[in-house]
Amino acid sequence: MKKNFFFNLVGMALPIVSSLVTVPIYIHHMGVERYGVLSVVWILLGYLGFLDFGLSRASAHALARLAHAPAEERGRVLMSALYLNAGLGLVGGGVIYLGAGILFKSVFGLPPEIWAEVQTSLPWIASMLPLALLTGVGVGALESRERFLAANLLQTSALVSGQVLPALAAMYVSPALDTVLPTAFGVRLVALILLLAVLARWEKLRFYRYDRRAGTSLFQYGAWATVTNVVSPILASVDQFFLGAKAGAGAVSYYAVPMNLATRMQIVAAALSRAVFPRFARYEEEQARDLAARATTALAYLFGACCAAGLFLIGPFLSLWISPDFAQTAAPVGRVLILGAWINGLAFIALSLLQGRGRPDLAARIHLVELLPFVLILWFLVDRFGTIGAAWAWTLRVTVDALLLMWFGGIRQQAMVALLPALGMLVGCFVLIEQDIAGSGWQVLWEGALAFSLVGMLGLIVDRHLRLLVQQVLSGFRQRYLS
């Protein structure tokens, strides 16, 4: 799991680094309007990903439970998921083909020359959704076998290539959308063919007939996973809509930028939750809960160290990245959101536990129950306190979410108590900065490094399993490089 966590972490980090490099290239060569259209296309494809109705997660869960089953039994489940997602992808692609044209022509009011490029590109845009849904099932199949190195090599290379090659096409061929988008389609198609080739070899994949019983089981699991996939983006984005309605579009920028930074930090939590999911599906109930408790405690201090440093560094980073004036307003918002991101990251393990144990319905019901109270609290706090009120509303919501998921997931009270020292350290750092007790300039960098080290050392004191992990890593390093 150490290796799997590392593979996931690197696999998630590389596309973020790649986007930081390629976004200025896109904007410089394509112009703001074309890049805006490209951004909306990625958003559409991302949101319509829910049309797989949770089948990617459902197939990963089913295949993890069949890890030692005969190849034919696994093959029937996998092919049934691929057939279903291919059909759903074609339907979703049709929706994009018909709806995207209306969206771009009527809502955005594009200039005639750019609209002509969009019109020519619509078949390519629509065709990318089936590829995405099939890729999700394929990657889930690899992860069900804990082949995270292969899954990340294939997925990350596709994501990075999907950012770099269209950017190169915009630079050296043409900045037009009807050049950039077909290039992106080609990258995704090649990536899917490679993924299917790997599955054909490792899973002995054959063209089995559709298995109705397997399809029904996948849909029953996936239906509840879909509720989470639909409600979670609403919970994650409704705050920005409310903030824009109440305080204006300018306020959204001061909230959205630190929110993006805080959620990007959660790749640590996401990497670990992906690594443990197949084992949650295979283990017995008691084993799964014990693993969840150990993973949550370790994550609290590993991710907590990153968040403690982030509390000190977000202000200087925003000053350098954007401007000191922007940082003066956005940094306090970002510090609240980093606290919330730490708490929300812990919930990733509990969510994986529930879904791995075949109870996605509990997670979905929790998210549905949270929706209305969150909207009411959000409306009140945004009305009274603006952007900082939105940040506290989100942090409060994810705190309740984490507690409920841990409670229903069966994570022991002893494990939850072990999280309190990390919480106390983060709150202490937050208070120091908010009360202007922390330093400034280069001193903040040293304070951020010190906070990172203190939370990490606290984790070694509190968590025996984390101590053993560090001892194993150091022992392996000495044997490999110093002996």
CA 359, CA 225: separation in Å to the nearest integer? 9
Query: Of all helices (H) and strands (E), which one includes residue 185?
Result: helix 177-202
Tens of pLDDT, residues 171-190: 888 888 888 899 999 999 99
Query: Of all helices (H) and strands (E), which one includes residue 178?
Result: helix 177-202
- Mean pLDDT over all residues of the chain? 80
- Which ranges of 248-359 would DSSP assign to H, the alpha helix? 249-264, 267-282, 285-321, 324-356
Query: Which of 149-158, 207-216, 397-406 is predicted least confidently?
Result: 207-216
Q: Could you tell me the pLDDT band of residue 421, with boundaries at 50, 70 and 90? A: confident
| 114-121 contacts, C-beta under 8 A, 24 or more apart | 114/33, 114/34, 114/37, 114/177, 117/34, 117/176, 117/177, 117/178, 118/37, 118/177, 120/177, 120/178, 121/177, 121/178, 121/181, 121/182
Phi, psi (5° rounding) for residue 71?
A: -60, -35
Tokens found for residue 164 = 């770099």
Q: How many residues does the chain have?
A: 483
How wide is the angle at C-alpha 40 spanned by C-alphas 38 and 45, nearest 5°? 100
User: Of 46, 53, 334, which Cα lies nearest the Cα of 162?
Assistant: 46
- Which has the higher per-residue pLDDT, 391 or 1? 391
> Number of H helices and number of E strands within the chain?
18, 0
- Torsion, Cα 238 243 246 249, to 10 degrees, reads -120
pLDDT of 192 > 60? The answer is: yes
User: Of 349, 353, 363, 354, which Cα lies nearest the Cα of 272?
Assistant: 349
pLDDT of 264 > 80? The answer is: yes
How wide is the angle at C-alpha 351 spanned by C-alphas 339 and 230, nearest 5°? 90
Q: Could you tell me the pLDDT band of residue 80, with boundaries at 50, 70 and 90? A: confident
Q: Could you tell me the pLDDT band of residue 395, with boundaries at 50, 70 and 90? A: very high
DSSP 210: P
What pLDDT is recorded for position 183? Answer: 92
Residues 33, 111: contact at Cβ < 8 Å? yes
- What's the whole-number mean pLDDT along residues 50-66? 72
For a pLDDT cut of 90, what percent of the chain falls above it? Answer: 6
Q: What is the largest CA-CA distance in the chain?
A: 68
Tokens found for residue 427 = 């709150």
- What's the whole-number mean pLDDT along residues 336-348? 91
Q: Could you tell me the pLDDT band of residue 473, with boundaries at 50, 70 and 90? A: low
pLDDT of 478 > 70? The answer is: no
pLDDT of 49 > 70? The answer is: no
Tens of pLDDT, residues 136-155: 888 888 887 778 888 888 88
Query: Which of 92-106, 181-195, 203-217 is predicted least confidently?
Result: 203-217
pLDDT of 372 > 70? The answer is: yes
Q: Could you tell me the pLDDT band of residue 247, with boundaries at 50, 70 and 90? A: low
Query: Which of 60-64, 105-109, 127-131 is predicted least confidently?
Result: 105-109
Q: Could you tell me the pLDDT band of residue 210, with boundaries at 50, 70 and 90? A: low
Rg value, the chain, Cα: 23
| 375-378 contacts, C-beta under 8 A, 24 or more apart | 375/238, 375/242, 378/238, 378/239, 378/242
Which residue type occupies 123? P
